Structure formats: structure tokens, C-alpha cells
Amino acid sequence: MQEESTKKKRITDKGIALAKAEHYCAYQERSQQEVRTKLYEWGLWTDAVEEIISELIINNFLNEERFAKAYSQGKFRMKGWGRIKIKQGLKFKGISENCIKKGLAIIDPEEYEQKLAEIIKKKSAVEKEKNELKRNYKIASYAISRGFEADLVWEKIKNF
């Protein structure tokens, strides 16, 4: 008996599914892949899913370029990610190369370098390594793992 109550109800009506999908997209920016996955979770068939996706695009609930810009800005400002990690995240979400470029273009180059300097400064303050070469390597590895370009990281560390 309890197993039945924990199972999610399947949505069979396309109108209800569209309304739920609109609410899902209105809550925050979503990629087509995220919405498609959610619609399949709700138990809809492929043709219904594609029709709903088309309807969401027509009604401007789904917009890949807008999603790429919001994702890029959010991950950069809130999480401190670099361009490489943001690009990987967008590719993982199924965003086109053109939209990825537009999303990354929204990041201000000066702000990007300031964020990198801030990350290097914070990591430098907590790094306990005494040997300067090892210390710089650890700091660079950390910044590179955050998605910043290696050449830019090493340049900043040299000038630090």
C-alpha cells in the first residue's frame, strides 16, 4: 500500500503538462534538455514532449541564449567559476556552441581578472606550503580547477 503512495502520478493530459512545464520554466531559466528530462519523468511520450517543448519556445518560456547568459553570469558571480568550467557546464546541459559563446561574452574581462586575483589571494592566504614553487603550483592548480585559463592563472601568480 505504501509503495503506491510514494510513486509519482503520471501526467497524461498535454494541457496539464504544458501548464506545469510553463510553471517549471517560469520559476528559473531552464535548458531544453532539463525540461525534456522533466517531461519524461512525468511520464509523457516523445511526440507530446516535443510538442510541449515547441510550445514553450514559441511562448518564450524556453530560450537557450537567455539560459546560457543566466547560467554564465550566475556561475561566475556566485560560484566563482572560470570560463572553461562554465563552458563545460553549458555543454553538459546540451547548449549549442553559438549560445555558449553568447553566454560567455556577458562576462566582463576586467571583472573576470578581478575574480581570478581574488581567488588567488584567498588561496594564498590559507596555503601552508613553505616552498615557493610548490606553493605557487598548488595555488595555480586550485585556480585552474575552478575553470580559469592556465596561462592567465600563471600570469596573475607571477604578478602577485
The whole-model pTM stands at: 0.90
Angle at 22 between CA 19 and CA 25, to 5 degrees: 150
Q: What is the pLDDT of residues 85-100, one digit of tens each?
A: 999 999 999 999 999 9
Average pLDDT, the chain: 94
Q: What is the pLDDT of residue 1?
A: 43
Look up residue 21 and give its three cell numbers: 512545464
pLDDT digits (tens, 9 = 90+) for 38-97: 999 999 999 999 999 999 999 999 999 999 999 999 999 999 999 999 999 999 999 999
Quick check: 107 and 72 in contact, CB under 8 A?
yes
Confidence of residue 7 (pLDDT cuts 50, 70, 90): low
Phi/psi-derived region of residue 80, left when phi > 0, alpha when psi is between -120 and 50, beta in every other case: left
Whole-angstrom Cα distance, residue 112 to residue 76?
8
| pLDDT band with cut points at 50, 70 and 90 for residue 9 | confident
